Amino acid sequence: MTPRDSAGPVRSLKFVTLLVALSPDLLRWGAGLQLRDNGYEELLVALHPQVSEDPSLIPHIKEMITEASFYLFNATKRRVFFRSIKILIPATWTANNYSKVKQESYEKAQVLVTDWHAAPGDSPHTLQYRGCGKEGKYIHFTPDFLLNDALTAGYGSRGRVFVHEWAHLRWGVFDEYNREKPFYINGQNQVKVTRCSSDITGVFVCEKGPCPQENCIISKLFKEGCMFLFNSTQHATASIMFMQSLPSVVEFCNASTHNQEAPNLQNQLCSLRSAWDVIRASGDFQHSEPMKGTELPPPPTFTLLQAGDRVVCLVLDVSSRMAEADRLLRLQQAAAFYLTHMVESHTFVGIASFNGQGEIRAQLHQINSDDDRKLLVSYLPAAVSAEAEASVCSGLKKGFEVVEKLKGKAFGSVMILAASGGDQRISDCFLAALSSGSTVHTLALGSSAVDSLEELARLTGGLKFFVPDKSDSTSMIDAFSRISSGTGDVFQQHIQLESTGETVKPHHQLTNSVTVDDGVGNDTTFLVTWQTGGPPEMVLRDPNGRKYHTDDFVTSLALQTARLWIPGTAQPGLWTYTLNNSHHSPQALKVTVTSRASLPAVPPATVEAFVERDSTRFPHPMMIYAIVRRGFYPILNATVTATVEPEAADPVTLRLLDDGAGADVIKNDGIYSRYFFSFAGNGRYSLKVHVSHPASVSAATRSGPGSHAMYVPGYITNGNIQMNAPRKPVGRSEEEQKWGLSRAASGGSFSVLGVPAGPHPDMFPPCKIVDLEAVKVEEEVALSWTAPGEDFDQGQAKSYEIRISKSLQNIQDDFNSAILVNSSKLKPQQAGTKETFTFSPELFTNGPEHQADGETQRSHRIYVAIRAVDRNSLRSAVSNVAQASLSVPPNSTPVLARDDLILKGVLTAISFIGVICLTIVIIHCTLNRKKRADKRGNETKLL
């Protein structure tokens, strides 16, 4: 066991002891959203800075969440409700005696309210980036949705919509409708509308009114002018994840009401489990029993917060450890660039340092000009101390003193803490950090920094970074570049376009290019840094061919940096740079390029990189994510590469994918993901992501992001069709990107424990296949899916195991007993490749298949599942279950909804009665004619 492994439990015990001693109020400050005594506390709703000031928004938010609280309480059978809510008011709104923020910020909110160019219509949505049962990232509403009462006709009441989205966010359940597959054929060869539960009724509607389904369905789509409308009056009570707008719907689908055959994301991603089953398995429900009695919970309480002046203090380690691996020099370079270009104007900035004691180096200065920035740079520490001891708490204490001089408190301030030493007493100042109301971002420099540094960041809601001792690593500058104001206003923030480093041999060059797209270009800066010798020879060429040389850069020999600022708006296109090492020894050369938005109302493309959790233990992999988007819209077809730097090994690069397979949950949602398990050893790992997008490849998406509450186009009310207003489109048709795209972003750090020494045993199976599809083609069934890997989603599996059944329940509950399909000739391809396989179901389904109870089941469908096997016989989890119809439903006997059957029965009865009446009339007329003829005959005889 390594020293770090053995020290971990001791530190954890000390940490737990400290938490027990902390007061409940302080714990709640650090914990954020939590469930206590059946009530959710500290839920944060944040309004974007560009939302126009409208006081009526706040009452509507309160009304929505209050209604949602009671609806949620009943839907969860008296288990959970909302107790306390914080609403973050933009600093751009008029001050109105709002409370001051502490660690809260827009970027930490669970609910976002945004109304700017990139908002996808008025459709509420939840960004889900992980699998079934996992929390999402945020819920999004537009102000128009909150204020426009006309939208409730299509969505239902706002409180109901909020509960639908909350289930996405908190419990990781998915939508039970499917716009792309609005109907399916069930096991009895009947056409069914995709819904949950199946008891929800409605009718097919053509242009002229109700019509038979055979007049509406073509292949997999509705004919133009056709749709399926649900009755506004229902008896079904489920499900909230299908159609929360129906008044009768008051609960989630459970095991008895769930429709397992419906082709929706809930079935696909949750292994056919009902929404209620997934919710019941959540941590919330494992630790909360239903409330006793019949009383409703109290309504939520609301606190209105508003951020004040932006206040930042750099707290920098100057102990003798900072002399190792040029840590101080690299810290100076990154901090100077942050002060010169990254931190927003009008921010108050101070500087403190520490070794065994803390020292204030610069009191707060407000940045209003370049001279203010230069002055702050001059206060950065220029040399290390002879003292090896580093007291983080002493440095933080001085940092708090700096920020408290502005308004007496540190509420809402930010500490950027960079530390390299093995200070074992950091936990001594957890209480002070929590009570300060300040957010502490931490940079662990080198492998000797203790783990409690990250605990300090986590408790205060800060970001955490690891900077390895590698001369060509850009992790230090990347960390400072990631730390923004937290307001969510990308128009005021710098965006990192490029970040790269390389050790260049003597008289060799580092040549590369970066794309400046038309969404950025203002305040564009190229930064070049080096560690030894003098500056390299620099040549920068813009898209028009203009060259900038070494003399055009502003060079600081003390900081060993060279900067070139492009005035105005940089020319969009490809900028090429060449750095020539003209010295006789190798040089670690690094390049960073930043810019800001060029247009005031069009958000630039951004990338947000992060990992699933703070730490993992071998052999559990770490999931890496990168959200690439413009505003709220995903950017598709990008090349996204993650670079992971361990403490004492070479960096590992990994291509992230948005293909809806492996670690990626949903295809084409702009969230690029991958499993990472190439662990070099125990310790910290730093993450950075690069994004590139060629100008020739479309980045447009036609669908909005995330999981949406259903908008109902209309209802059948008392037999009449009542249509709602058409919904605003949630997608966009974007012109082809003219200039391409370049982005870079730090994803922070994570730690790994339990990695065995020496070669690792193979403990990584292929990942689960989640996108299996089956289609009947003539007399065969064609399968398609994305290939998993030898290890999760990397490499190449050895074989596939495909099984079929005529019973959905059988193949789901007992995959090993289902019929095995001969797939010996099917050789798995490289992970991420689209696989296809065709077989004849008649070879496997001629005989009856028996249920466990001995009854024979007749079915017109087969159900297929698959799993992959690697060369060490490790098997993946069983895939999602795909379905294929073995026969086409006869149009002469369509399966209609209950109202269709009633309507058809009434029409049949009327027709039957009409035929009888007509027959009676004909018979009556015939008899009358015969009587008249007989009478005339008799008269003739008499004559």
Q: Which residues are catalytic?
A: 165
Crossing angle of the two packed helices 158-171 and 57-75, in degrees rounded to 10: 70
Q: Supply the DSSP string of 214-240, one letter for each residue.
A: GGTEETTEEPTT-EEEEESS----B-T
> Cα–Cα distance between 395 and 429 in angstroms, integer?
10
SS (H, E, C) 444-481: EECCCCCCHHHHHHHHCCCCEEEECCCCCCCHHHHHHH
d(CA 818, CA 865): 9
Output b/e per residue, 140-155; b: 16+ Cβ within 10 A: bbbbebbeeeebebbb
- CA 807 to CA 845: how far, in whole Å? 11
Distance CA 663, CA 668 (A): 13
Q: Degrees (nearest 5) of the Cα angle 885, 816, 821?
A: 50
Helix (H) or strand (E) holding 708: strand 707-708
Q: What letter represents residue 195's amino acid?
A: R
Within 252-396, strands assigned E span 301-306, 311-317, 348-354, 358-366
Which residues on neighbouring strands pair with residue 753, listed in sequence order?
Answer: 617
What 3-state class would DSSP assign to 49?
coil
CB within 8 Å of 936: residues ≥ 6 apart:
none
Burial of 19 (0-12, 13-18, 19+ CB in 10 A): middle
Q: Distance (Å, rounded) from C-alpha 867 to C-alpha 876?
A: 6
Helix or strand run (H / E) with residue 522: strand 520-530
Cβ neighbors of 811 (< 8 A, separation 6 or more) are: 803, 804, 805, 818, 863, 864, 865, 881
Exposure letters 343-377 (e unless 16+ CB within 10 A, then b): beeebbbbbbbbbeebbbbbbbbebeeeebbeebb
Q: CA 173, CA 75: separation in Å to the nearest integer?
A: 15
Give the strand order in the sheet containing 111-113: 99-100, 301-306, 84-89, 43-47, 111-113, 138-141, 125-127, 707-708
Q: Which two tokens stand for residue 675?
A: 């499993």
Return all residues near 598 (Cβ < 8 A) that are at least 6 apart.
518, 519, 520, 521, 522, 569, 604
* Rounded Cα gap, residues 914 and 909, in angstroms: 8
- Confirm if 438 and 430 have CB atoms less than 8 A apart: no
Query: For residue 488, what are the contacts with CB-CB under 8 A and spacing of at least 6?
Result: 46, 48, 49, 106, 107, 112, 114
- State the Cα–Cα distance between residues 710 and 751, nearest whole angstrom: 40
